[in-house]
Amino acid sequence: MVSEGRGRLFRRKDGKFLIYLPKDFAEDSLFPFQGSDSLYVKVSFKMKDNKLLIERWREPEPEPEPKPKEKSKGRA
């Protein structure tokens, strides 16, 4: 089991940043992102912390549309 590895964050000539993960680390059976060559991830960090949090990107669930209000059938 490989639960940590030495990777690298680098900037390409086009200005994009990439994170390199070692092959043994990314192909470990317990690695959380299995089964695809490419996937979208959410990357975040907290102020004054030197850690990145990488999570699988999930599209937000669409909010259900409100039901139209029925007119009340009261006496006037």
Judged by average pLDDT, the poorest of 16-25, 29-38, 40-49 is 29-38
What pLDDT sits at residue 76?
Answer: 55
Q: What is the mean pLDDT of residues 27-43?
A: 86
Distance from the Cα of residue 12 to its chain's centroid: 22
What pLDDT sits at residue 10?
Answer: 94
Q: Which helix (H) or strand (E) holds 25?
A: helix 23-26
pLDDT tens by residue, 8-29: 999 999 999 999 999 988 889 8
Token pair belonging to 13: 């000539």
